[in-house]
């Protein structure tokens, strides 16, 4: 009884340790810059819309930021072991939500049905794919954290099937089957929306956790190659995706139509030059670049702050990601380490994809920039993920003093 009480006290102390200050500061800096950029990028769109209020998006975004930071603080106070038990029901809920998106309950924007309303008739919308990303990482991390302690199944060698299964088990194929099945099922549902960028993110996050857990590199390469081949086939067989590829190769082929947004984004970035036009001085946001407060918000930031501003933001993201991996290396246990690797990889890939889209380095996939793009649920989930990382950082053992 005394031992159990002592262990409980230790767990409480671990949950209440100090958070990693450099990581917190980097998150706050990015959120702060993102909030300023949303205000600058959105006021023209809001003023000339039905709202007729230049501060409409800025005021709503401030509410999202304040509530999101409260979520971050609240989640960081939790002992992160809590997410182990929640991983299975959360993954189940993610599947249900992804299925509901494909029903009449789903909401369609720009020929993509990716959203659900929080209320049946009206209300805020959210993308279930955001929930699915985190759910996959938590489930994989919880299962793979016990990888070395679980006893391997012994297959009988008296039958051909048994000998084949034993061989597949020895080379590590059998243990990958359930994880591969989950990734394929989630990716299949998301490709039906269609949501290519979200599919790539989930595949990347899941693969990162598998690799960090010790799965052989050859299987990661085979899985990555298979996924790339599958996505290529989907793109070639889907008119929606094929049109996106054609616009990427030559956006000027439909300069006043579907290539318009990409072209205006390139104009905005090119106009910024070295030091930019000045904060608030963007020209493209005056109804030239569609929805500048969302996926293409980085273009407005570069137009106003130039190459210097772009490098500063990218450097902050790089430092945040590097610090995240440092926390993963020093995490108290394997579960915490794997969770950080998954979340951190999601962040890195999402930043790369967004910057690649606005610069036309990759096809337009409709993906937001973390901490910058306007939107409540995405920001809340990003900050909740940062809260989970901070919760892990609270339990990092203090360095031993000699």
Q: In the 3-class helix/strand/coil scheme, how is the chain assigned residue by residue?
A: CHHHHHHHHHHHHHHCCCCCHHHHHHHHHHHHHHHHHHHHHHHHHHHCCCCCCCCHHHHHHHHHHHHHHHHHHHHHHCCCCHHHHHHHHHHHHHHHHHHHHCCCCEEEECCEEEEEECCCCCCCEECHHHHHHHHHHHHHHHHHCCCCCCCCCCCCCCCHHHHHHHHHHHCCCCCHHHHHHHHHHHHHHHHCCCCHHHHHHHHHHHHHHHHHCCCCHHHHHHHHHHHHHHHHHHHHHCHHHHHHHHHHHCHHHHCCCCCHHHHHHHHHHHHHCCCCCCCCCCCCCCCCCCCCCCCCHHHHHHHHHHHHHHHHHHHHHHHHHHHHHHHHHCCCCHHHHHHHHHHHHHHHHHHHHHHHHHCCCCCCCCCCCCCCCCCHHHHHHHHHHHHHHHHHHHCCCCCCCC
Q: Which of 26, 12, 33, 16 has the alpha carbon at shortest distance from 279?
A: 33
Across the chain, what does the average pLDDT equal?
84
**pLDDT over threshold 80, residue 304:** yes
Q: What is the band of 339 on the pLDDT scale with cuts at 50, 70, 90?
A: very high
Which residues make Cβ contacts (< 8 Å) with residue 150, sequence separation at least 6? none
Q: What is the mean pLDDT of residues 66-88?
A: 92
Q: What is the mean pLDDT of residues 359-367?
A: 85
- In this structure, of 89-103, 145-159, 306-320, the range with the lowest mean pLDDT score is 145-159
The residues pairing with 108 across neighbouring beta strands, listed in sequence order, are 113
User: Which pLDDT belongs to residue 176?
Assistant: 79
- Comparing 365 with 268, which gets the higher pLDDT? 268
User: Which pLDDT belongs to residue 1?
Assistant: 45
**pLDDT over threshold 60, residue 356:** yes
Q: Which pair of tokens denotes residue 75?
A: 């989640």
- In this structure, of 126-140, 171-185, 191-205, the range with the lowest mean pLDDT score is 171-185
Burial (CB < 10 A; 0-12, 13-18, 19+), residue 1, is: exposed
User: Which pLDDT belongs to residue 8?
Assistant: 44
Using an 8 Å Cβ cutoff, are 37 and 369 in contact? no
Q: What is the mean pLDDT of residues 364-383?
A: 88
Q: Which of 134, 145, 142 has the alpha carbon at shortest distance from 205?
A: 134
Query: Distances from the Cα of 254 to the Cαs of 248, 257, 380, in angstroms?
Result: 11, 5, 36
**pLDDT over threshold 60, residue 286:** yes
Q: What is the mean pLDDT of residues 248-277?
A: 88
Q: What is the band of 75 on the pLDDT scale with cuts at 50, 70, 90?
A: very high
């Amino acid at each position: 009884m005394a031992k159990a009480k002592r262990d409980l006290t230790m767990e409480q102390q671990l949950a209440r340790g100090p958070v990693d200050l450099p990581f917190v500061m980097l998150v706050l800096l990015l959120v702060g810059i993102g909030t300023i950029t949303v205000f600058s990028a959105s006021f023209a769109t809001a003023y000339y819309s039905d709202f007729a209020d230049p501060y409409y998006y800025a005021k709503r975004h401030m509410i999202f930021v304040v509530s999101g930071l409260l979520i971050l603080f609240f989640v960081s106070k939790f002992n992160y072991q809590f997410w182990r038990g929640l991983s299975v029901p959360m993954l189940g809920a993610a599947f249900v939500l992804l299925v509901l998106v494909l029903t009449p309950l789903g909401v369609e924007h720009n020929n993509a049905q990716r959203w659900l309303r929080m209320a049946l008739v009206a209300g805020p919308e959210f993308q279930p794919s955001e929930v699915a990303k985190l759910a996959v990482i938590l489930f994989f991390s919880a299962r793979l954290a016990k990888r070395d302690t679980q006893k391997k199944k012994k297959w009988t060698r008296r039958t051909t099937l048994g000998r084949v299964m034993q061989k597949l088990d020895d080379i590590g194929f059998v243990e990958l089957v359930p994880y591969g099945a989950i990734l394929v099922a989630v990716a299949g549902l998301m490709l039906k929306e269609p949501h290519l960028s979200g599919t790539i993110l989930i595949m990347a996050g899941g693969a990162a956790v598998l690799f960090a857990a010790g799965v052989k590199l050859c299987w990661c390469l085979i899985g990555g190659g298979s996924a790339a081949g599958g996505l290529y086939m989907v793109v070639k067989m889907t008119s929606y995706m094929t049109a996106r590829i054609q616009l990427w190769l030559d956006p000027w082929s439909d300069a006043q139509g579907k290539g318009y947004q990409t072209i205006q984004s390139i104009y905005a970035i090119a106009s910024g030059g070295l030091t930019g036009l000045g904060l608030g001085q963007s020209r493209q946001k005056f109804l030239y670049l569609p929805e500048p407060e969302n996926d293409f918000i980085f273009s407005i930031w570069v137009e106003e702050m130039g190459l210097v501003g772009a490098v500063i933001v990218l450097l902050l993201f790089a430092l945040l990601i590097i610090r995240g991996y440092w926390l993963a290396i020093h995490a108290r246990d394997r579960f915490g380490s794997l969770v950080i690797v998954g979340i951190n990889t999601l962040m890195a890939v999402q930043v790369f994809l967004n910057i690649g889209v606005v610069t036309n380095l990759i096809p337009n996939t409709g993906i937001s920039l973390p901490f910058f793009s306007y939107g409540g649920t995405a920001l809340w989930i990003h900050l909740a993920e940062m809260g989970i990382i901070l919760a892990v950082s609270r339990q990092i053992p203090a360095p031993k003093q000699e």
